[in-house]
Amino acid sequence: MSAIQARDLVRTYKTSTGIFRKRAVDVQAVRGVSFEVADGELFGLLGPNGAGKTTTIKMLITLLIPTSGSAAVLGYDVVKDAREVRKRIGYVFGGDRGLYERLSALDNLRYFAELYAVPPAEQKRRIAELLDLVGLAGREKERVEGYSRGMRQRLHIARGLLHDPPVVFLDEPTIGVDPVGARELRRTIAGLTQAGKTVLLTTHYMFEADDLCDRMAVINKGQIVAEGTPSDLKALVADRTVIEIETFGVDEDAVERVRHASSVSSVSIEDRDQAQVLHVQSPAGTELTQTLIGLLGNTRIGRVAVREPTLEDAYVALVGEA
């Protein structure tokens, strides 16, 4: 039996437009998502902002009812057996929200320990263990409002693990956390599967997914566009090559000219200090460098390099070309 099963999940939000003449509009955030996560697996759900990751996760953790389709966690239906699901899952989301800031970490953890029915005799030991695990031991009596984002995130993880759930949902847990803090968090997340837990992680950081996930699915515009191991996804672009062109002050028109050049599969732009690096994907064996430099016109160009595709390139290809 899979730890998590999602079958044809659809979620539509009703919204309205206009002030005087209101018109109801249906927005389909998730359009038929299906996947399974095996027991003890760390599964990644990747996608750009607004792709439907959080909506999918909220249906799985019983906060949203699917418009259609079904899902189960450890065999319990997320709609019919919501309470049974809640007993067995931990939910951690990224960002500053989700904590009682005026109170201490210890107060927060004690309160949630009550909500998750952690026996009173075990609470003290469990909270101490978790504070040690997330590196907040000694800081637990300070008010959360004084915590850095990384500390809040670690407190979120401790809160999500209070009742020792077999399945943990992590929704962009490292968002906004500094590199050192994010690395520590990733170490903690990797430790969860070593402790036998099933983890569903959403992220849009490819290196994070590559580093942590056993398998992953890429979701775009509410649909899964690819699923497999990191190697499987990289293989999708194995027949491509990536040209990196460092530019300074490149304009939209020039990027559009590159995007529409023949043999160019996709283009993404990465800001690096004052430079903008274009990652141009094309079929392997195609010599495009001179053509691309010509298309950039008067744009100041720095370093140019040709490299093998990475998981990030596979992701860009999947979400950029969909």
Q: Does the protein bind other proteins through residue 93 (CB under 8 A)?
A: yes
Question: CB of 203: closest distance to other proteins in angstroms?
Answer: 17
Q: Among residues 92 and 225, whose Cβ is nearest to other proteins?
A: 92
Task: Establish if 13 lies at the interface with other proteins (CB under 8 A).
Answer: yes
What distance in Å separates the CA atoms of residue 121 and residue 123, rounded to the nearest whole number? 6
Number of residues that bind other proteins (CB under 8 A): 33
Q: Is 19 in the site for other proteins (CB under 8 A)?
A: no
Q: Does 65 bind other proteins (CB under 8 A)?
A: yes
Binding flag, residue 315, other proteins (CB under 8 A): no
> Looking at 45, 64, 74, 127, which residue binds other proteins (CB under 8 A)?
64
Give the shortest CB-64-to-other proteins separation in angstroms.
Answer: 6
Phi, psi of 102 (to 5 degrees): -75, -15
Q: What does the per-residue mask of binding to other proteins show for 98-127, with x meaning CB under 8 A?
A: xxxxxx---x--xxx-xxxx--x-------
Q: Is 238 in the site for other proteins (CB under 8 A)?
A: no
Q: Is 22 in the site for other proteins (CB under 8 A)?
A: no
Judged by beta carbon, residue 100 or residue 205, the one nearer other proteins is 100
Q: Return phi, psi of residue 220, to 5°.
A: -145, 135
Binding of other proteins by 86 (CB under 8 A): yes
Gyration radius from the chain CA atoms: 22
CA 62 → CA 32, 65, 85, 196, 202, distances in Å?
Answer: 17, 7, 8, 23, 17
* Helical packing angle, 120-133 and 105-115, nearest 10°: 130
| Residues in touch with other proteins (CB under 8 A) | 13-14, 54, 58, 61-65, 83, 86-87, 91, 93, 95, 97-103, 107, 110-112, 114-117, 120, 143, 159
